[in-house]
Copies of this chain bind each other. A is one copy, B any other.
Amino acid sequence: MSAPRTADLGFARLDPDRAARTGTPEVVFAGGKTPDETVGCLAGLLDAGVPLAWATRVDEATATAVRDRWPDAHIDPVARVAWVGTPPPPVGQVLVLTAGTSDGPVAAEVVATLAASGVGCRRVDDVGVAGVHRVLAVAPDMAAADAVVVVAGMDGALPSVVAGLTDRLVVAVPTSVGYGAAFEGLAALLTMLTACAPGVLVVNIDNGFGAGIAAARIARSAHAQP
């Protein structure tokens, strides 16, 4: 890890060698930053030579500021992701499942993260366990995938069922969809952590980004040249 660089912007100290070290570039978390700060970070990363400067949790004001600066930036308003530059061509394939339509925006963040990471993806929505035949129907897709990302709110029961049907790693994303005892995603989070089938690994509530990065690493390593 000999002496990685730091790009000092004052309000930020960018880490332009993070991709070399970890396989993933520093990605700007726009939550809690002003639009100017996010734009400044993206510009700093581009200045430092990253091929793709990328931000998550991008709200409308920030999206506007990004587009004002880089008119050809890619912006996905549902996923709240923006990037400047060109993602690598996709390799492999990750299967992204949602339990219900309402989990869509988090799944969109997974999909955008995979795209930015240069990994292929197939998304099948709304296969929650209340109609378990819908899950069973995607078992062949699981077998064809390098990894399965399962996005679910409310009871968060889908990953337990999926993990009993496949030998792929299951990356489980609890969402804040639901009300009352769903406690903003806590119910789904606890369900996934205590899944009765092994092979389920969990990320933070609504963290489509983290799930996408993890799944991308699995897919890329499965398709790496030996």
Contact = CB atoms under 8 A, between A and B. Distances in A.
A193 interface: yes
A15 B134 contact: yes
Given A166-B21, A221-B222, A177 B32 contact: yes
B12 A197 contact: no
A80 to B, nearest CB: 12
Interface string A149-185: 0000111110011011111110100101111111111
A99 interface: yes
A61 interface: no
Contact of A37 (B41, B99, B101, B179): B101
A131 B6 contact: yes
Given A24-B198, A187-B191, A214-B199, A12 B167 contact: no
Interface of A: 1, 3-4, 6, 10-15, 18, 21-24, 26-27, 29, 31-33, 37, 41, 57, 99-104, 124-137, 139, 153-157, 160-161, 163-169, 171, 174, 176-207, 209-210, 213-214, 217-218, 221-222, 226
